[in-house]
Structure formats: structure tokens, C-alpha cells
């Protein structure tokens, strides 16, 4: 891992078009600003990892399980008007 | 794969999906009888550990979660070229449970599709309070 020391209001460039700026340091929290093109998605790592795990768990359920699911209907009291 | 399924419109996830970054082309296939609220999102690309491609069960979230109105950020709207909310088809991925009544839906990461261009992406609703495993039907 590359390690750089930065102060508040200093930035790091990743490639030519991603700029990561330290906005504020307060105790054990750091506020970070990120400027990146739309084609690059930016997420908190723990949220992205959770979504990865959820997608892997949902991928390719057993075909037998699908047959039962096809009969599952939204509960009438929760159906939208 | 039957001829009929091959003719279904192809959805294109330019950025892949979290966990499956290289799986980009999918078709949407109806599951069960026409009253079933579920469809299958079937990949045309294969993935590591899934040499035959992957399938996700998906549903229309409004059927099961009438109050679910996720805010789609400008980045996704821009990438999918969504001019208005009417351009977007919203789906959520279902994790099939055992028994099926224990199935859950991923409301944290809804699938957003541009109805016109078929460009698609999985949104990541970081601060929404939604979870990846919300019960589809109330547990008895």
C-alpha cells in the first residue's frame, strides 16, 4: 500500500482525473472529498462489500427453490392501491 | 436456452454488479405463470465459479414494499441517461429462502434500468437505512 501524509485541504490525485481531498481532521474522524468522473463509482467500502456478499448469496438459486417462489404473492394488505 | 428467450431485450450493465464486475449482459425472463411477480435476470456472460452464467430472481419492489421510493443519485441517472423517473424501471434482487416464505429482497442495492436504452446499473444506497435482506412477506 502506498502511504502519503496529507494535511487538511491537501489532495491526492489518482490517475489524471480522480482527486481525493482531505477536508477536515477531527479526533479519529477524517472528512474526505472525492472528485471523479461519473464512470467511476465511489462507495464506502463496507457498504460495497455488503452488496457484493448479498449478490453472491442471491446468485443462481437452486431450480427447485424457484418453483415454490413463483407461487409467492405479495400479501394483500401490503399490495399497493 | 430456447429461441424465445434469446429474443428478449438485452440489458447492459456497463459497470457489472458488485461481486460480479465482469458480468455485463443480461436478459429478463418471466418466471412461472403470468401472475407471478417474479422474473429471472439471467446473464449472457459467465462468471468465476459460475461457468454457465448467473441468475438472479428479481421482483418489482412496489408490490411487496409499497413505501419503497429510493432516491437515485445523479451519477446513476447520468450514466443511464435517465431524463425522468418514468424512464426508469426499478427491480430488486431476491435471495430465495428455505422455506421460500423466508425469502428476502435487497433494498440497499436496487437494479435501475433505462426502459428505452436498456442500460442498467445496481444502485448503492449508502445512507438510506435500507438493508440487503428485507423480508418479502411478514414472518408468521
Out of B37, B75, B93, whose CB is closest to A74?
B37
Chain A residue at shortest CA distance from B95: A58
B21-72 pLDDT tens trace: 999 999 998 876 666 789 999 999 888 778 888 999 999 999 999 999 898 8
**Of B54, B109, B133, which to mutate for an interface test with A (greatest number of A Cβ within 10 Å)?**
B109
pLDDT given at position B34: 66
Query: Residue A1 belongs to what domain range?
Result: 1-58
Out of A47, A66, A78, whose CB is closest to B126?
A47
DSSP designation for B71: P
Q: Rounded mean pLDDT of A30-40?
A: 92
Q: Is residue A5 part of a domain?
A: yes
pLDDT given at position B137: 83
Which A residues 13-32 touch B at CB under 8 Å?
none
Q: Is residue A81 part of a domain?
A: no
pLDDT given at position B3: 44
Rounded Cα–Cα distance for residues B82 and A65 (Å): 35
- Is residue B113 within 8 A of residue B4, CB to CB? The reply is no
CATH, residue B34? 2.30.290.10
Rounded Cα–Cα distance for residues B91 and B62 (Å): 9
A6-25 pLDDT tens trace: 999 999 999 999 999 999 99
> pTM here?
0.86
Q: Is residue A28 part of a domain?
A: yes
CA distance A11 to chain B (A): 22
Phi, psi of A19 (to 5 degrees): -120, 125
Higher pLDDT, B134 or A75: B134
Q: Is residue A46 part of a domain?
A: yes
B86-118 pLDDT tens trace: 999 999 999 998 888 889 999 999 999 999 999
Using the beta-carbon criterion (under 8 Å), do A70 and B33 form an inter-chain contact? yes
pLDDT given at position B36: 77
pLDDT given at position B6: 47
**Of A64, A72, A76, A80, which to mutate for an interface test with B (greatest number of B Cβ within 10 Å)?**
A72
Q: Taking the mean position of all CA atoms in its chain, how far away is CA B79?
A: 17
CA distance A8 to chain B (A): 25
Judge whether residue A54 has pLDDT over 80: yes
Q: Is residue A17 part of a domain?
A: yes
Query: Residue B109 belongs to what domain range?
Result: 3-131
Closest by CA to B75, choosing from A52, A14, A13, A35, is A35
Amino acid at each position: 500500500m502506498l502511504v502519503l501524509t496529507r494535511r487538511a485541504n491537501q489532495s491526492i490525485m489518482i490517475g489524471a482525473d480522480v482527486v481525493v481531498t482531505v477536508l477536515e481532521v477531527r479526533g479519529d474522524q477524517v472528512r474526505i472529498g472525492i472528485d471523479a468522473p461519473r464512470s467511476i463509482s465511489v462507495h464506502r467500502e463496507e457498504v460495497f462489500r455488503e452488496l457484493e456478499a448479498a449478490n453472491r448469496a442471491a446468485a443462481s438459486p437452486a431450480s427447485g427453490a424457484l418453483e415454490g417462489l413463483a407461487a409467492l404473492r405479495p400479501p394483500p394488505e401490503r399490495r399497493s392501491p | 436456452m430456447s429461441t424465445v428467450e434469446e429474443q428478449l431485450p438485452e440489458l447492459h450493465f456497463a459497470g457489472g454488479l458488485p461481486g460480479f464486475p465482469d458480468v455485463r449482459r443480461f436478459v429478463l425472463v418471466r418466471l412461472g405463470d403470468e401472475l407471478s411477480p417474479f422474473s429471472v435476470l439471467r446473464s449472457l456472460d459467465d462468471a468465476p465459479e459460475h461457468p454457465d452464467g448467473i441468475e438472479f430472481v428479481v421482483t418489482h419492489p412496489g408490490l411487496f414494499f409499497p413505501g419503497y421510493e429510493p432516491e437515485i443519485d445523479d451519477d446513476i441517472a447520468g450514466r443511464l441517461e435517465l431524463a425522468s423517473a418514468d424512464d426508469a424501471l426499478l427491480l430488486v434482487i431476491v435471495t430465495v429462502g428455505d422455506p421460500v416464505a423466508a425469502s428476502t429482497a435487497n433494498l440497499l442495492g436496487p437494479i435501475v434500468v433505462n426502459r428505452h436504452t436498456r442500460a442498467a446499473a445496481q444502485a448503492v444506497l449508502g445512507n438510506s437505512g435500507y438493508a440487503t435482506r428485507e423480508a418479502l412477506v411478514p414472518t408468521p
